[in-house]
Structure 1
Amino acid sequence: RLKLGALYETAAKALEQVHLPTDRAFLTRRIDTLPLATRQLVAIARAIAAEARLVIMDEPTTSLTRQEVNYLLSVVRKLLDKGVTVLFVTHKLDEVKSLGGHAIIMRDGQKVAERDVTTTNKAEIGHLMTGREISEARYRTEPKIGDTLLQVEGLSQGRAFKNLSFTVRKGEILGVTGLLDSGRNELALALSGVVPAERGTIRLDGRSVALRSPAEAIREGVGYVPEDRLTEGLFLEKSIQDNVTLPVLNRLRNFFGMISQRKARKLSEDQITDLQVVAPDVTVPVQSLSGGNQQRVLIGRWLTIEPRLLVLHGPTVGVDVGSKDTIFRIIQRLADDGMAVVIISDDLPELLQNCDRILVMRQGGIVADYAAEEVDEDGIYQTMAAGPATEAPANMDEEAAQ
C-alpha cells in the first residue's frame, strides 16, 4: 500500500521547486481543471520528483508567462548544479542564451551545427536554424489605420474581469497582455463567443452585437485562433482541407445540397498557398505537419470567413523562429488590408514587434494602454506585476488566481 505521508511529501517538494502551491486542495485538483501553463509546470515537477539523472524537456516553456519561465530556468540551473544532465529542446533564443551550455542546432530534420552558446549570438543561432536572417526589429511600418471597428464598453465576466472598455480601429493591431490571473485569457473567449461576457456592450461598426456563441461571432465576422491548437483548434486526424473549410461548409454546397469537393479543394489550396503552408497536398492529415504549418492552417481556417476582426490568442505558441517570422508577416498584411487584429499574448517581444497599441491587464482590469513604439519589455512587465488593479474584482481569491 502507498505511504500517503511520503506521497504528499514527495509531491509537495517537487511542486515547491516550480513555485506551485503545495496545499492539499491543490494536490487533489484534477489536472484537466488547471490552466495550460499550470499543467506544464506540474509535468516538470513530475520529472523532478523522479530524481532522474537525465531530464529531457521538450518545449517546456510553451504557454508560460515570463515570471513562470524565470522560475523554470532557475529550476533547470538547480538541476545542473546537482549534476543532472538536461536536454532542453526549445526554439526561444532568449532561453538558449540564458541557460548557456552546449547547443545542437537542427533544421529540416538535420543537425546543421554545434555551438558553445556563451560565445554565439542570437542572430547567428537564428540564421543556422532557419537558413535566413531573422530580424528583431518592429514589423509595423507606416500602418494604415481607419475608423473604429470594435467598441467594448463595461465588459464584465464573474471573477475573471470587470468593466473593460477599449476600442480597436480598422487596420490596427491591438495587443493585450497580463499575468495568468489577469483576465486576458477570459477576454479572448468573450470576444470570440466561446464564454460570453455577463455584462457590457460590444459594438462592431457602431452596431451592438451579442456574441453568445462561436457561431454568432462567425456571423458577425469575428475569427478566433485559440491558444492551444492541438486540443482547442485543429482536428488533427482530419485533412488540411477538412480543417480549413469547416466554418464555410454552407458556401461550398452544390445545387443538390452536397459539399462540392472541387470548391473545397480550391479554397483550401488557395489558403495554404497564400499562407505558405509546406505540405505535399491538402488531403494529408494536419497531424503530419510541423507546429508552424499547423498554426498557419488554423489561421487559414478563420480567414475563409473573411473576418472584420481577427482575435489571435497566443498566435506563435510552440512555433519555431522561422515560422514566427512568416506568421508575423501574415498578420501585418492582414492589418494593411484593413482588418482589425487583437493579439492576446504573454510574449512581450511578439507584441512589441507587431502591435500599434498594447493594453496591460492585471487582476481583471485594464491598467495601462501603451503605444507600442513608446514602451519596452521591462516597462510592460513592471506594470503587469505591480500591485492590485483599480478595476480588479473585489472577490478575486487565491484559487481563481491559480
Structure 2
Amino acid sequence: MLSPSTIKVVRETGALPNSEYLLEVDNVRKEFAGVVALDNVSFRVRRGSVHALMGENGAGKSTLMKIIAGIYTPDAGEFKWRGQSIRLNSPLDALDNGIAMIHQELNLMAPMTVSENVWIRREPKNRFGFIDHDELRRRTLELFDRLGIDIDPDEQVGKLSVASRQMVEIAKAVSYESDVLIMDEPTSTLTEREVEHLFRIIRTLREAGKGIIYITHKMNELFEIADEVSIFRDGKHIATKAANEVTRDEVIRMMVGRELSQMFPKTPAPIGDVVLKVRNLGLAGVFDDISFDLRAGEILGIAGLVGSGRSNIAETIFGVIPATSGSIEIAGEKVVVDSPAVAMQHGMAFLTEERKESGCFLLLNIQENMQMAALRSGYVRRGFVDQKRLSRDCDAMTSALRVKTPNMEELILNLSGGNQQKVLIARWLLTKPRILILDEPTRGIDVGAKAEIHRMISNLAGEGLAVIMISSEMPEILGMSDRVMTIRQGRLSGILDRVEADQVKIMELAAQ
C-alpha cells in the first residue's frame, strides 16, 4: 500500500507518480474450489474516463472488482496505482488507496439513519468524544446538495425504497473522494429520471479526473455513458475497445461467443380459458380497484414507474400481504388468498423482486435453495421425499438455465447475482405451476441468459402456463407480452394488446 503521505500528495496534485492510468491490473488469477474464476486477466482504468465492464454472469466481472476492492485476495497477479505497485489486502486498503465500490447487492445498515450509513467509521465527534449529530447532518446535506439528492439525512434506511437506498449507497461511495469508483449494476432499481441523475453525477466525477468502472448488462447504458468497454467471457479478458468503435452486436458476440439472433423469442401460443380473475382488488393505502383476467398461455406484462404499486399487486395476489378489498378467482373458484401457502395450493408461483432479501436462503446450498418450494408438490410420497427424483430434476434445471457452479453443494451465497436468480426461477418451475408471477425476472442477468430465460417463459406459455411478468425494461415488456397492463399511482391506467402497445403509449399511461 502507498504511504499516507504519498496518497495525500497524489490526491491533492495528481502529479506523483505521473501515469496515464489510475489503476493497472496485470495477469490476475483466482480459483474457487478448483473452478477458475479469473484466468490471467489484465485490466486498466484511465483517469477521467468511464470504463464499462461487460460479460455474462460468471464471466469474472464481479470477482475482479471484488479483488480490486480488497474483498478477495488474488492467487496471482500485480496491481499498480498511478504507476506504483500496491497490495490490496482488505477493503480498508482499497479505500485508503482511493478505490470505492458500490455493490449490486446493497450493504447499508437498515436500522441506522441515512447520515449514519454515509459516514460510518468517519463520524464527526464533539469535544466529549461523542458523535456530533448536527455536524453529521450538515455534512450529509452538503454532500446531497452537491449530488442533487433529495433524501432526509435523518430517515431510517430501512424505511427507504430500494431506489433511494441505491442513491444513498452511491453518495456514500462518493463521500470517500475516491479516485476510482466501481459501480456494479447501479441502475437496476432506478427509474429513467433517476438514471439520468446518476449519469449527471458520473459525468461530473469524470470531469474531475476520476476513473469510473461501470458494470452493466444494459447496452443502451454502455453507449450512453462509457468511454471504453472491456468484455469478459469464462474468466478471460476478451477485448478492450473504445465505446464508439463497437456495435451492440459485436459486444454481444464477444460476450457470449455466438450470435444472438433473437433477444425476445416470443412465439405465438394458443390462448386458453381464464385461469385467474381479479376483481376490484385493493390494499388499503397502497393500491385500489385492480381488475383483470389472465388466460392460459398468456403472458401479461405489468408496466409502471417505480413506486406505482406493481410489486404490491403481485404480492397481494400471491398472499404475501392479504388484500383488504376485492376478490380473486382461480380456475372459476373464488379463493381467499391470505397466505403464500394457499396460493401455492392453487398452482401459483411467485419470483420476488428482491432475491437477496426475500428469495435466497444465503447460507444454504444450491440444491437446498432449489428444492425449497418443490417439497410441497409431487415429490413427497407417503410422507417421504423422493430425493433421487428431486435431485435429478434439480440437476436438469441447473443445466437448462446454465447455472455456473462447481456443484450443487455450493452455497448460493457464493454465486453471482444472475446465477442466484436462475436458481430461484428453477425453484418455482419445479413446482409445475399453472400461474407464474415473475417480478423483474431478468434483473441483473446477462444478455445471453436473458434470451434463454425469455425463451423458457415463452415455451412455458406455449405449454399452457399463465404468466404475469413485471418489468422495468420496456423492450422486455414489449417483446414478451401478449397484453400490457399499466399501473399509475396504485390504480389500473390501461390494458393494451400486443399489436397496439408501444413505448409512447405505455409511458403515457404510466406517467402522471
TM-score, normalised relative to structure 2: 0.71
More strand by share: 2
Matched, 1:65 2:191: yes
Q: 1:152, CA displacement in angstroms? A: 0.8
For 1:11 and 1:110, locate their aligned partners in 2 and report how far apart those are by CA, in whole Å: 40
Aligned to 2:387: 261
Q: Taking structure 1 as reference, are residues 46 and 280 closer, same or farther at Cα in structure 2, changes over 3 Å only?
A: closer
Letter in 2 for 1:49: S
For 1:254 and 1:362, locate their aligned partners in 2 and report how far apart those are by CA, in whole Å: 46
SS in 2 for 1:343: strand
Q: 1:223, CA displacement in angstroms? A: 0.1
Aligned to 2:53: none
Q: Taking structure 1 as reference, are residues 370 and 125 closer, same or farther at Cα in structure 2, changes over 3 Å only?
A: same
Q: Mean alpha-carbon deviation: is it higher for 134-143 or for 191-200? A: 134-143
Q: Taking structure 1 as reference, are residues 332 and 254 closer, same or farther at Cα in structure 2, changes over 3 Å only?
A: closer
Q: Mean alpha-carbon deviation: is it higher for 233-242 or for 309-318? A: 233-242
Instruction: Decide which of 132, 136, 147 is 1:7's aligned counterpart.
Output: 136
Instruction: Decide which of 332, 346, 350 is 1:224's aligned counterpart.
Output: 350
Matched, 1:305 2:431: yes
Matched, 1:140 2:266: yes
SS in 1 for 2:197: helix
SS in 2 for 1:374: coil
**Residue ranges of structure 1 left out of the alignment (5+ in a row):** 388-402
Deviations 1:270-304 (A, max 9, x none): 33234343434333322333333322211111122
- 8 A Cα contact 1:241 1:264, kept in partner: no
Aligned ranges for residues 3-402 of structure 1 at < 5 Å?
3-16=132-145, 19-22=148-151, 26-135=152-261, 138-250=264-376, 251-253=378-380, 257-385=383-511, 387=512
- 8 A Cα contact 2:264 2:455, kept in partner: no
Letter in 2 for 1:180: V
For 1:301 and 1:144, locate their aligned partners in 2 and report how far apart those are by CA, in whole Å: 26
For 2:330 and 2:169, locate their aligned partners in 1 and report how far apart those are by CA, in whole Å: 41
Letter in 2 for 1:108: D
For 1:154 and 1:222, locate their aligned partners in 2 and report how far apart those are by CA, in whole Å: 20
Q: 1:19, CA displacement in angstroms? A: 5.0
SS in 1 for 2:469: strand
For 1:17 and 1:108, locate their aligned partners in 2 and report how far apart those are by CA, in whole Å: 40
Instruction: Tell me which of the two structures has the higher relative contact order, counting C-alpha pairs closer than 8 angstroms and 6 or more residues apart.
Output: 1
Q: Mean alpha-carbon deviation: is it higher for 210-219 or for 369-378? A: 369-378
SS in 2 for 1:45: helix
**Residue ranges of structure 2 left out of the alignment (5+ in a row):** 1-125
When Rg is computed on C-alpha atoms for both structures, the one with the higher figure is 2
More helix by share: 1
Q: 1:233, CA displacement in angstroms? A: 0.7
Deviations 1:171-228 (A, max 9, x none): 0001111112211121121121111211101111111111111111110111000111
Instruction: Percent identity, please.
Output: 35
For 2:357 and 2:133, locate their aligned partners in 1 and report how far apart those are by CA, in whole Å: 33
Q: Taking structure 1 as reference, are residues 359 and 254 closer, same or farther at Cα in structure 2, changes over 3 Å only?
A: closer
For 1:10 and 1:136, locate their aligned partners in 2 and report how far apart those are by CA, in whole Å: 49
TM-score, normalised relative to structure 1: 0.89
For 2:146 and 2:480, locate their aligned partners in 1 and report how far apart those are by CA, in whole Å: 35
Letter in 1 for 2:271: I
Alignment RMSD (CA, Å):
2.0
For 1:349 and 1:218, locate their aligned partners in 2 and report how far apart those are by CA, in whole Å: 30
Aligned to 1:390: none
For 1:290 and 1:3, locate their aligned partners in 2 and report how far apart those are by CA, in whole Å: 39
Q: Taking structure 1 as reference, are residues 205 and 271 closer, same or farther at Cα in structure 2, changes over 3 Å only?
A: same
For 2:412 and 2:458, locate their aligned partners in 1 and report how far apart those are by CA, in whole Å: 25
Q: Taking structure 1 as reference, are residues 143 and 259 closer, same or farther at Cα in structure 2, changes over 3 Å only?
A: closer
Q: Taking structure 1 as reference, are residues 92 and 273 closer, same or farther at Cα in structure 2, changes over 3 Å only?
A: same
Letter in 1 for 2:138: E
Question: How many residue pairs are counted as aligned between the two chains?
Answer: 382
Q: Taking structure 1 as reference, are residues 236 and 381 closer, same or farther at Cα in structure 2, changes over 3 Å only?
A: same
Q: 1:16, CA displacement in angstroms? A: 4.3
Deviations 1:138-188 (A, max 9, x none): 422322211111111101111211101111111000111111221112112
Q: Taking structure 1 as reference, are residues 209 and 228 closer, same or farther at Cα in structure 2, changes over 3 Å only?
A: same
Letter in 2 for 1:140: K
For 2:433 and 2:145, locate their aligned partners in 1 and report how far apart those are by CA, in whole Å: 45
Q: 1:87, CA displacement in angstroms? A: 1.1
For 1:5 and 1:30, locate their aligned partners in 2 and report how far apart those are by CA, in whole Å: 16
Deviations 1:11-62 (A, max 9, x none): 124334555424xxx3222212222222111101112233222211111112
Q: 1:308, CA displacement in angstroms? A: 0.8
Q: Taking structure 1 as reference, are residues 98 and 308 closer, same or farther at Cα in structure 2, changes over 3 Å only?
A: same
Q: 1:320, CA displacement in angstroms? A: 1.1
For 2:200 and 2:406, locate their aligned partners in 1 and report how far apart those are by CA, in whole Å: 42
Letter in 2 for 1:288: N
